[in-house]
Amino acid sequence: MKRSPELLRLADSVLLPGFEGRTPPDWLRRRLGEGLAGVVFFSRNVGTPSQLAELTAALRAERPDLVVGIDEETGDVTRLEAHTGSSRPGNYALGVVDDVSLTEEIARGLGADLAAAGINVDFAPAADVNSNPGNPVIGLRSFGADPALVARHTAAWVRGLQAAAVAACAKHFPGHGDTAVDSHHGLPGVAATLEQLHEVELLPFRAAIAEGVRMIMTGHLLVGAYDSEFPATLSPRILTGLLRDELGFDGVTITDAVEMAAVTERYGIGGGSARAIAAGADLICVGGENSDDAVVVTIREAIADAVTGGLLPEERLAEAARRVAELTVWTGSGPSAPVTSTSAGHPASAVRAAHGAAGLAAARRAIRVTRRAGVLPLVTAPHVAELSPQMNLAIDKDMPWGVGEPLSKLLPGTTVVRLDQESAGTSLDQAVLVPAADRPLVVVVRDAHRHAWQMAALDRLLGARPDGIVVEMGLPGRTDLGAVHIATHGAARVCGQAAAETLTGHLEAEI
């Protein structure tokens, strides 16, 4: 059968692509005018708040009711503040504090910022239970390893974000926490039994659904207890049988980035997209690494061909388009204001400042200190060595992080060196021990327990300098390292600030 213009338009209405640049390319303007569902923003699209508001206004000039999504988890995974580091700590830090009112406040402030920029969907919160500490892609993106804790903070995040008429999106269904493979690069397996899934992985998603979450994102996961053949994104048993029929979710289901290897290695980007819609997904997210018109054409034609070929019932495609349209109606019913507006009589700049203060306060509360040995507070400018591992693709590689910069403002004269795996293997003495010979030594790590080279570097440095201070800005696997061990539970800008305050005695952290 021939691809009719009507069928192609229907296929367009379930696509959410990314694009390059901070102004809309011509192809995107044209596609939006023809019925494309909307767009997803990445850090490459984001500059200042006013630029972002102008960008969304230009897109809405082509289609007023479009979906504008962004992957803004705060903390380590930020798009709004990828160039500066996040002014809000991430999920794990909030879970450590375990104050649901604080989590709701942080999410509400984020929702206000997103709404002011014209963004109506946020791909957050991560509702994954981080039950595998070696997980290469979730880690600090989770609220923690306790399902009940993750559930209550997931619900609080949904409440806060959706109070600003920004749709929350719980992810990565049915739970990416107990995996050992990054789905950007391969297909992770979830070995849990049905009983374990309902007691652990599914508990936060139930909480999100009960709270009225508007969107759920699928994980590219092989969940053998439900489907041993297809990953969740492509599985009718999981997206329809479990999510819709069993859990009762009636909102929009969106795929994780469909170009990820867990899908494309077997089905291709077009075939995977068509199978996802057939399985029960309503929106296809694409464009993190494939962001041009040719990709959109490939996917829309594959979806249309799946209808004409009998793989995808047209009524299923129409149902997906209807759910997306209903979502835009909901987001349009709540508060929305340009970035220059005021809130409750206060200038937008003051509102943003208040949100930033809440983020720093939360980061301070998340600090944990162990093994104090009389070396704090620092009164002499230290030498700081920051050991920088390769991060997963969800985290912008150029996002600033660390303790050195904020510490140098509190203790002028602080020196900083950053080492990767290669340089740490060859330069520890000259880059770290020699410059720190007559001053305090601070070693900053991220997920040290997951990287043998970081642990080897710590062994060498602390062996030579037992008075060395360790600042862990990832998941704290060991807290018995160094004369003092400081866990920030995140590498957001405010986490670095809170650690610097702790090092200099400006912050009395929990011991």
pLDDT tens digits along 372-386: 788 999 999 999 999
Residues 183, 171 contacting (CB under 8 angstroms): no
User: Which residues are annotated as catalytic?
Assistant: 184, 256
> Looking at residues 197-218, what average pLDDT do you find?
97
Q: If you search the block for the tokens 């495609």, which residue do you land on?
A: 317
Q: What is the reported pLDDT for 185?
A: 56
Cis previous bond, 172, omega within 30: yes
From the list 92, 93, 73, 96, the residue with the least C-alpha distance to 143 is 92
Mean pLDDT of 414-437: 95
Sign of the CA dihedral with 371 first, then 474, 72, and 37 last: negative
**DSSP secondary structure code for residue 197 in this structure:** I
Nearest to 42 by CA among 62, 19, 59: 19
| Confidence grade of residue 287 (pLDDT, cut at 50, 70, 90) | confident
Write the pLDDT tens digit of every residue in 244-263: 999 999 999 999 999 888 78
pLDDT digits (tens, 9 = 90+) for 494-505: 999 999 999 999
pLDDT higher than 90, residue 177: no
In single-letter form, the type of residue at position 462 comes to L
Token pair 């309902």 is at which residue?
198
DSSP conformational letter for 286:
E
Q: What is the pTM for the complete model shown?
A: 0.92
Listed in order, strand segments (DSSP E) in 375-475 are 383-387, 415-419, 441-445, 469-472
Residue 291 in this model has a pLDDT that exceeds 90: no
> What is the spatial distance between Cα 188 and Cα 455, in angstroms, rounded to a whole number?
26
Overall average pLDDT of the 300-315 stretch: 96
pLDDT at 184: 58
Give percent of the chain above pLDDT 70: 93
The tens digit of pLDDT for each residue in 320-371 reads: 999 999 999 999 843 343 333 333 333 444 445 555 689 999 999 999 999 8
Beta strands in 359-419 (DSSP E): 368-370, 383-387, 415-419
Q: How far apart are CA 429 and CA 383, in angstroms?
A: 13
Per-residue pLDDT reduced to its tens digit, 136-145: 778 899 999 9
User: What is the share, in percent, of the chain residues with pLDDT greater than 90?
Assistant: 80
